[in-house]
Every structure is written in structure tokens, then in C-alpha cells.
Amino acid sequence: MPGKAMIVTIVVGVVSVLYAYGYLVPLTRVLMVYVPVNVKSTIAYYIDLSDDTADVKSTSDRIFTKDELWKYRGEGDIYLAVLGQVFDVTKGRKHYGPGGGYEFFSGRDGSRAYVSGDFTEAGLVDDITGLSLTDIRGLDDWVKFYRKDYTYVGKIVGNFYDAAGTPTTAYREYEKQLAAAEDDKKLTAADYRRFPPCNSESAQGKGRRLWCSTLSGGIQRDWAGLPREYYRPGTTKPRCACVKDVGPPSETSSTTTADNNKGDLDNPNVKVYPGCDPKSISCSFNDF
């Protein structure tokens, strides 16, 4: 029978070898599944089992101050930031380098200007308060663009991240707005499918014509509908929508299809255009 001292020596030896070859932490992580909960915390106390590869991006993030980022413009490496995220755009020197059309974005976070188009010093700021949901989506598109086409480098301390690289309240607010913007996009798409925009043409002296077809507003469908003034809920300005009219009930149709055939003509958000035959597929106005 081996003595207690020998068993301890063997265990210490095995653990040391595993540690030396880097197998200790991964092996322990696997074995932890079979270990009782109370023993787990004791083991975790002695061996750091945190998975630092999972967070490698944030721990390797470089945090820039405004002054530091400002150095990355001109003839050397060129960096810029959108929504506090810094990208190396050196390969796009023709845009961002001296004399380039978008040189003003270099060395700073000019998030607001990406959607406002105000490229003055007052416009090239990271304050994005009061932007529309469309603008918020636009900013998200720009971040996706830079992540795809350029190299992510780190974060800049400012409106979106603090000195530890932690997202600020403003960044959390942006995330909420982006989620709302995505919802709004889906609702708008659904609204356009149900109330497709009318075709329209106007010519000086000839007036204006609004009409419906099975592809008006870019929405392909098997009904044309009738032109109506449509007030989308929550809006005050109407637009012309092709409103589904009552179709003849098909003999093979189920109840659901028959219901669909009721159309939307009695929808409270639609109004007949003054001066237009309510049954006409086309309305002409001489309002010039």
C-alpha cells in the first residue's frame, strides 16, 4: 500500500505536469461537470477557470482618448470611429487621407454626420440625440459597413464608451432605439403590403393622376385595389394607397379567403379622394 505522502506527491506531480503543458484549466473545466456543487467552488478558488478566450475581443480592445485618435489622420495610419467603435481605414486612404472626399471623418467619432450629412465641425460630433429611427438604422448600417470592409481596432472614450471601454447610457439608449427602428421597419413593410402606394404621374398643365395596378408601390400582388387617401395610424399626413376592394368570393375559397375578400374599403383610416369616383381604379386631379 503506498503511503499518504506518496499519494500527495503523485497528485502534485500530475497536477504540475498538466499545468506546465496547459492542460490543467481545460481538463478541470471538463471534469467540473461531474463534481458536486460545494466542491466546485473550492476548486474554482484555487484554479481560475474563467474562459478568457470568450471575451478576447473586449479585453484586447484598445481604448483611445479623443487626442490619441486625432493623431491617426494624415500621411500615417488612418483611424476613424462610428458609434464609439474605432476602425483602421488606412486602406481607404483615397477617401480618408489628405485631399480625400471624406478626410473629415478621420481621427474622430463624427457619428452624427454619417446620417445628417452635415460635415462641418459642428456636425462632426458623436452626439446623436434627436435622430429619427431611419437615421438610427443608417448608423447601424455604417458600423456594419466598417466592420465588413475595414479592421476593428478598439473604442474611443466619449459619448458611447467610458474610459474602461464599458458602454455608456447613451450607447444603451442607442441600442433600444435600434430595436425600435427594426420593429418600425417590419411594421412599415407590413403596412405597405396591406396598403400599397399608388402609381402617380404629374405633368405641368395636365394635372396629376393616381392609379392602382398589381405592382404599384413595388408590391407585387394579385389585386390592384382602389386609390384612397390613407392615414397610417400615428401619422397625420395621408398618402395615396391602393386599398383592397371586395373581390368576388371564389367557389373553392375557404372562410378565411372569403374574409380576405371583404377588402379594406371600410377601414376607418381610408378616405375617398374628393372629386374621384369611389369605384374608379384611377383618379385625375387638375390641381396645378
Distance CA 278, CA 227 (A): 8
Closest separation between CB of residue 197 and ligand HEM, Å?
A: 24
**Cross-strand partners of 271:** 229
Told to check if 225 binds ligand HEM by CB under 6 A, we report: no
Contact by Cβ (8 Å): 211, 283: yes
Of residues 79, 84, 87, 92, which one binds ligand HEM by CB under 6 A? 92
Mapped onto helix, strand or coil, the DSSP state of residue 133 is helix
Which of 117, 130 has the CB closer to ligand HEM?
117
Which of 86, 212 has the CB closer to ligand HEM?
86
Distance CA 225, CA 217 (A): 12
Cell of 38: 460545494
Closest separation between CB of residue 221 and ligand HEM, Å?
A: 33
Which of 116, 261 has the CB closer to ligand HEM?
116
Of residues 102, 152, 223, 231, which one binds ligand HEM by CB under 6 A? 102
Of residues 114, 160, 171, 273, which one binds ligand HEM by CB under 6 A? 114
Closest separation between CB of residue 73 and ligand HEM, Å?
A: 14
Tell me 35's DSSP state. S
Closest separation between CB of residue 87 and ligand HEM, Å?
A: 9
CB atoms under 10 Å from CB of 228, counted, come to 28
231 exposure class (CB count in 10 Å sphere: 0-12, 13-18, 19+): middle
Of residues 2, 99, 117, 233, which one binds ligand HEM by CB under 6 A? 117
Ranges of beta strands (E only) in the chain are: 62-64, 79-82, 85-88, 151-156, 199-203, 207-211, 226-230, 239-243, 270-271, 282-285
Which of 114, 195 has the CB closer to ligand HEM?
114
Of residues 66, 93, 95, 232, which one binds ligand HEM by CB under 6 A? 95
Residue nearest to ligand HEM (CB): 117
| Binding site residues, ligand HEM, CB under 6 A | 92, 95, 102, 114, 117
